[in-house]
Copies of this chain bind each other. A is one copy, B any other.
Amino acid sequence: MRYKAEIHVTLKRTVNDPQGLAIRGGLHSLGYEGVNAVRAGKFIEVWLEAESSAEAERLANEMSDQLLANPVIEDYAVSVVETAATP
C-alpha cells in the first residue's frame, strides 16, 4: 500500500529561533504590528510503501529520529494518510 506521511519538524520551545525573529521583524516592517511571535519549522512530505498505516507511521517516526529532525533541538509530529498518487 502507498501512504503519505506528513512530518512537522519544529524547534523546541526553549530553543532560540533566529529565522522566526527575522520573519517577525519583516512583518513588523511591513506594518503588521499585531504579530506577537513567529516560529519557523519544516514541513516534509514522504510518499512511501508500507504494509499498513501503522507500519507507515512507525517508519516515518524512525526516519524522523534518524534523519529528518535533530532530537537535541527539534520536536516532530507525524501523520499518515493513504494515497494513490505520488507527486
- Which residues in A have some Cβ–Cβ distance to B below 8 Å? 2, 8-10, 13, 20, 23, 26-27, 30, 32, 34-50, 59, 63, 66-68, 86-87
Contact = CB atoms under 8 A, between A and B. Distances in A.
B42 A41 contact: yes
Contacts of A37: 46-47, 86-87
Nearest to A35: B48
Contacts of A8: 43
A37 B67 CA distance: 15
Nearest to A29: B67
Contacts of A39: 44-45, 87
Contact of A46 (B13, B38, B50, B68): B38
